[in-house]
Amino acid sequence: MVQVREKKASTRDFIEQASRIKSVTHRHGVPLIINDRLDVALAVGADGIHVGQDDMAATTARALLKQSSSPARKMLLGVTATNEAQARAAELAGADYLGTSAVFPTDTKKDGGAGYVIGLDAVQRICRATSLPVVAVGGINATNAHQIVAHGAAGVGVVSAIVGADCPRTAAAGLAAVVDSALPKRPLVQNVTNYVVMNDTANATLQAGGSPVMAHENGEMTEHAQAVVLNMGTLDDHWLRQMKAIGQVANAIGVPIVFDPVGAGATHYRTGAALQLLDELRVSVLRGNPGELAALHVALCSIERSLASELLVRGVDSPGYLPDSESIIRSLARTKRTIVAMTGKQDLVSDGERLLQVHNNHILLGQLTGTGCMVTSLIGAFVGALPTTEQTHAVAERRQHVLEATAAALAYFCHAAERAGARTIAEGLGPGSFHTALLDELFLLTPHELEQHARIVDMRHAS
């Protein structure tokens, strides 16, 4: 959008200037926002108005806009917020989006007074205080715009970065590319998953920024998906046929598959079904607990059955760690040419050569059903947000991206659990409250915070 800010012109001159700008923005389908002046916005038929904390009150502006707008054309209201309280108040007043005070020093707002520069941390706090999109302004350019987005902003507002450039069009395109690349993607994740955790899985994926769809019927939805998650939780012959059919469509069109062999090792039927899917489909990521993956390792790699006594798979539960965990996932990854993630007391991810250890975790995760299924879907969202093989130009490069995205998904989920667990225990509460807090923290956790607190150790090619 384009926002016109004019502090010195007369009302007549302002209207004439805004009218000329409106003729250009309207021709290109770009919304025009007038800063401060509701009368000018109405006079030129602008798409909205933006008010600051010292301008017309947001409640008054919204009431006047309702009176002046037709049912077919609602005018937008933007409000500047410098802190969380102002952000919440603006949302309650009916704002459609928020702008911030200057994030960095800027020549266009030298009259801001002491403290007019709020910094990146304030942007993050404002974004977390509201469900409205936040547009950050002040001293932003192509070199720092990605930081703004990493702290939760939906976009940036600039003046000199474009109008002061030798070629404004090139500068605008470059800045837009930086912001677009930094904004989180919203991959469609098709889940063929079990009834026990379907709601939790969908909600966890949604909080992470994915778009979950629980579509089991055929491969038609797969054509629109960026990832497919196959989960054997409530397995029967019909589910198995559907997983094979949907997986074959995914393989044919290059959609990555994340496979969760729930209960493999617990029964011959489940182990056999998992082996069939691994044999017939090209799986991008295999995610299981230690018992499930060890059972598949025994079956696939001709390991002595004496190891089975160590697995102790009961239903879908298993021990949190096995002494041979690292060699098991490396061997499975090499055998099936896929990324293998083992989750438990310590999460491990390998492509057969590199080994990543994820040290984020919380004991309360073991008190909820379906946390493994939830993280499998999150892996689907993270992998689905990656560039395609054609975009990376190399299968090997893509494979490393999938490895790292899988580890990032595990760190994201487990650090959210750490935050939720700390809050739950501090309040003297239990697993039910932890469940709710976990969804909250998945929503609140920002990319910047994840980068700061993810504990991922790259063991490289250590054997």
User: Rounded to whole angstroms, what are the CA distances from 441 to 54, 186, 321?
Assistant: 34, 18, 26
Q: Given a cut of 60, is residue 424 above it in pLDDT?
A: yes
Q: Return the minimum-mean-pLDDT range out of 140-149, 190-199, 454-463.
A: 454-463
Q: What is the pLDDT of residue 322?
A: 67
CATH number for the domain whose boundaries are 188-306+322-459: 3.40.1190.20
Q: Given a cut of 60, is residue 308 above it in pLDDT?
A: no
Task: Give residue 131's pLDDT band: very low, low, confident or very high (50, 70, 90).
Answer: confident
| Distance, CA of 206 to CA of 425 (rounded, Å) | 25
Helix axes 371-384, 198-207, angle to 10 degrees: 40
| Distance, CA of 134 to CA of 275 (rounded, Å) | 48
Element housing 32 (H / E): strand 32-35
DSSP string for 58-83: HHHHHHHHHHHSBTTBPPEEEEEESS
Q: What is the pLDDT of residue 317?
A: 54
Which residue did the predictor score with more confidence, 176 or 111? Answer: 176
Same fold, 2-182 and 188-306+322-459: no
The pLDDT of 88-93, averaged and rounded, is 94
Q: What is the pLDDT of residue 313?
A: 53
Which residue did the predictor score with more confidence, 68 or 298? Answer: 298
Q: What is the pTM of this model?
A: 0.69
Task: Give residue 306's pLDDT band: very low, low, confident or very high (50, 70, 90).
Answer: very low
CATH of 2-182, one of 1.10.940.10, 3.20.20.70, 3.40.640.10, 3.30.930.10: 3.20.20.70
Q: What is the pLDDT of residue 4?
A: 94
Phi and psi angles of residue 459, each rounded to the nearest 5 degrees, phi first: -85, 0
| Distance, CA of 49 to CA of 382 (rounded, Å) | 37
Q: Given a cut of 80, is residue 70 above it in pLDDT?
A: no
Residue 110, classed as helix, strand or coil, is helix
Which residue did the predictor score with more confidence, 110 or 316? Answer: 110
The pLDDT of 335-361, averaged and rounded, is 94
Task: Give residue 446's pLDDT band: very low, low, confident or very high (50, 70, 90).
Answer: confident
Residue ranges covered by each domain of the chain: 2-182, 188-306+322-459
| Distance, CA of 187 to CA of 258 (rounded, Å) | 14
Is the separation of the CB atoms in 65 and 95 below 8 Å? no
Which residue did the predictor score with more confidence, 373 or 448? Answer: 373
The pLDDT of 81-87, averaged and rounded, is 95
User: pLDDT > 90: what percent of the chain?
Assistant: 71
Q: In whole numbers, what is the pLDDT of the chain averaged over residues?
A: 88
Q: Given a cut of 80, is residue 393 above it in pLDDT?
A: no
Residue showing tokens 């054509």: 223
Q: Given a cut of 80, is residue 316 above it in pLDDT?
A: no
The pLDDT of 360-389, averaged and rounded, is 91
Residue showing tokens 């102790």: 312
The pLDDT of 421-441, averaged and rounded, is 95
| Distance, CA of 444 to CA of 447 (rounded, Å) | 10
For 217-243, the pLDDT digits (tens) are 888 899 999 999 999 999 999 999 999
The pLDDT of 365-386, averaged and rounded, is 93
Which residue did the predictor score with more confidence, 39 or 71? Answer: 39
For 147-171, the pLDDT digits (tens) are 999 888 999 999 999 999 999 999 9
| Distance, CA of 399 to CA of 325 (rounded, Å) | 21
